[in-house]
Structure 1
Amino acid sequence: MTTAASLSPAESTSSSAVDQLRAGLEDFGRRDQQIARYVIDHAEEIPFLSAGEIAESLAVSGAAITRFAQRVGFEGYPHLQRVIRQDLRATLGMKQPGSEDSVVARFWASEHANLEALQDIPEARLLAFARAIAAAKQVWVVGARSSYGISLLAETILASFRPHVRAYSADLLLSRPEQLLEVTPQDVVVAFTLRRYSRATTRMVRALHKQGVQVLLITDQGASPLSKVAHQCLQLPTHGTDVLASLAPFVSVITLLASLVAHELEGGHLKQAEALNADFGVYEY
């Protein structure tokens, strides 16, 4: 069998690992082509996948993944994985601000385009999301870093209409895994992911999935590592300005889902909650 061509040090500094694999694909043997195509197609998931998980997906041995990485010029799979992670950080990380000219105009143009694109999400998919949230025994809302802020907003809005909604920081959940003992198969987890994808969110949501929880994923237009375990997925446009991705689509979809949940529950416990707010004088007016 023809083996994969080794990558020279000069090549490894001139382009990304995925670009190098793509360029050398035709020179690889049949099995190495299979592995290379998997790495190319799942590049954004590779930092989260072990060699064993890739081997299981391709029905090959873990040693085959290691040998492939070595044949294409890396010390082993962890080295290949590390280089791909660095490549992704370079391309998906926060950009430096550009010139100030037309920053405001570009911002509103991108926000407008994102919100228009949201209208392409099928109504049936949104209804299915809302019905799963409405029917769940408990709703685990999980995110990390900026996505955790989105999770807190989702908790606040959804808790107005149904009980047992709780936002969790994926990082804190990892430090207290005993909370998984509270999980039931009747629960759902609403997971928020936004590039760069948090390893903590990936690990925790996969753990919840193994407990039998239904996974509802709300993510950006990238290749979230959780897309394979998600029972339902909403991919939102997040094109932003030079520096930051847009969060407006997440806020809009959360608000819409809460409205649909309220409709499913015929208002839920909103009236009782408002009565308690009045009794305790929560609001000035």
Structure 2
Amino acid sequence: MTSLASAPMGSAVERLRAGVEELSQRDQRVARFCIDHAEEVPFLSAGELAGRLGISGAAITRFSQRVGYDGYPHFQKTVRHDLRATLGLKQPGPQNAVVADFWASERANLENLAALPEQQLLLFAQAIAQARRVWIVGARSSYGLALMAEALLSSFRPRVEAHSADLLLSRPEQFLELTAEDAVLVYTLRRYSRATTQVVTALHERGVTVLLLTDQGASPLGKLARHCLRLPTQGSEAAASVAPFVSVTSLMIVLVARAWKGDHFKQTEALKAEFGVYEY
């Protein structure tokens, strides 16, 4: 057992970082992967992590024990707990500060969106516009964002569908509908959904273009995305802000509508008028 196992308490990654030089060459490889990809550890079984590193699952178990844990599940649980503690969410403060703090956080998040490179935004929208079909995927609260995006985007281009990642996992045969000509627009925020990671990984393996809208954490899907927009989500209370996601989604709608030159929009509006969808 290394002295790292009895090191002062801190996060699992902090302890690895402090003691990595004490480890054997093989254990250093495991430790450095866990340091650099901490956000992925909660989603990887011992076998999957071993496969990424080209070693055995037993080696992962022994590594976990040598650095002070009962085994890999204990190490994984600790990393997951540490990540939850870094979400940046705060407990409610005095009632008279809540409203002012909320608007201050929202203003800061929206102002920070201006730092996103314009070319990156244009390429993201271009991929949405050019795909044969677009699936929009989210889980839990992110599924609400996916539904909003579907409602807006479907007026300006055809073949747009929102899907719950949890429900897709129960019907994986639906993955056969998508090909390399298609794109999946993914909404995911910390704590990243395991279902979303599994669904998008499967679609990526089918050649589907992955377009990722996420926060400024290290989403495990970042490495799969053709285009990725990392948005500021600092919350003033016990929830991350979704305003940047709504704003960027609205921008994507504008850019896609321009790319489609309004033809699909005219057709959808004519149908809505025919069926009396709106009061005026």
Tell me which interval the TM-score lies in, with the shorter structure as reference length.
Answer: over 0.9
Aligned to 2:265: 270
Aligned to 2:41: 46
5 Å matches for 1:69-218?
69-92=64-87, 95-218=90-213
**Structure 1 residue 182, shift from structure 2 partner:** 1.1
Q: Work out whether residues 39 and 46 of structure 1, in 8 Å CA contact, stay in contact via their aligned partners in 2.
A: yes
**Structure 1 residue 118, shift from structure 2 partner:** 0.7
Aligned to 1:222: 217
Aligned to 2:248: 253
Deviations 1:252-276 (A, max 9, x none): 0000001100111111400111111
Aligned to 2:25: 30
Deviations 1:117-146 (A, max 9, x none): 111111111111111111111101000011
Q: Work out whether residues 90 and 236 of structure 2, in 8 Å CA contact, stay in contact via their aligned partners in 1.
A: no
How does the TM-score come out when normalised to structure 2?
0.94
RMSD: 1.8
**Structure 1 residue 208, shift from structure 2 partner:** 0.8
**Structure 1 residue 24, shift from structure 2 partner:** 2.1
How does the TM-score come out when normalised to structure 1?
0.92
Deviations 1:28-79 (A, max 9, x none): 2333223212212211110012334333443444333222111112232222
Q: What letter corresponds to residue 273 of structure 2 in structure 1?
A: A
Q: Work out whether residues 93 and 196 of structure 1, in 8 Å CA contact, stay in contact via their aligned partners in 2.
A: no
Aligned to 2:14: 19
Q: How far, CA to CA, are the matches of 2:272 and 2:206 in structure 1?
A: 36
Q: How far, CA to CA, are the matches of 1:93 and 1:263 in structure 2?
A: 37
Q: What letter corresponds to residue 133 of structure 1 in structure 2?
A: I
TM superposition outliers: structure 1 runs of 4+ over 6 Å:
none
Q: How far, CA to CA, are the matches of 1:223 and 1:81 in structure 2?
A: 16
Matched, 1:7 2:14: no
Q: Work out whether residues 4 and 15 of structure 2, in 8 Å CA contact, stay in contact via their aligned partners in 1.
A: no
Indicate how the Cα distance of structure 1 residues 204 and 93 shifts in structure 2: closer, same or farther if over 3 A, else same: farther
Deviations 1:163-204 (A, max 9, x none): 110000000001111111211221100011111111010001
Q: Which moved more, 1:252-261 or 1:177-186?
A: 177-186
Matched, 1:235 2:214: no
**Structure 1 residue 95, shift from structure 2 partner:** 4.3
Q: How far, CA to CA, are the matches of 2:48 and 2:229 in structure 1?
A: 25
Counterpart secondary structure, 2:228: strand
Please list every run of 5 or more consecutive structure 1 residues that lacks an aligned counterpart in the other structure.
Answer: none
Counterpart secondary structure, 1:185: coil
Deviations 1:86-122 (A, max 9, x none): 2223443864322223211111111111111111111
Question: Percent same amino acid at aligned positions?
Answer: 64
Q: Work out whether residues 4 and 29 of structure 1, in 8 Å CA contact, stay in contact via their aligned partners in 2.
A: no
Please list every run of 5 or more consecutive structure 2 residues that lacks an aligned counterpart in the other structure.
Answer: none
Q: Work out whether residues 45 and 224 of structure 1, in 8 Å CA contact, stay in contact via their aligned partners in 2.
A: yes
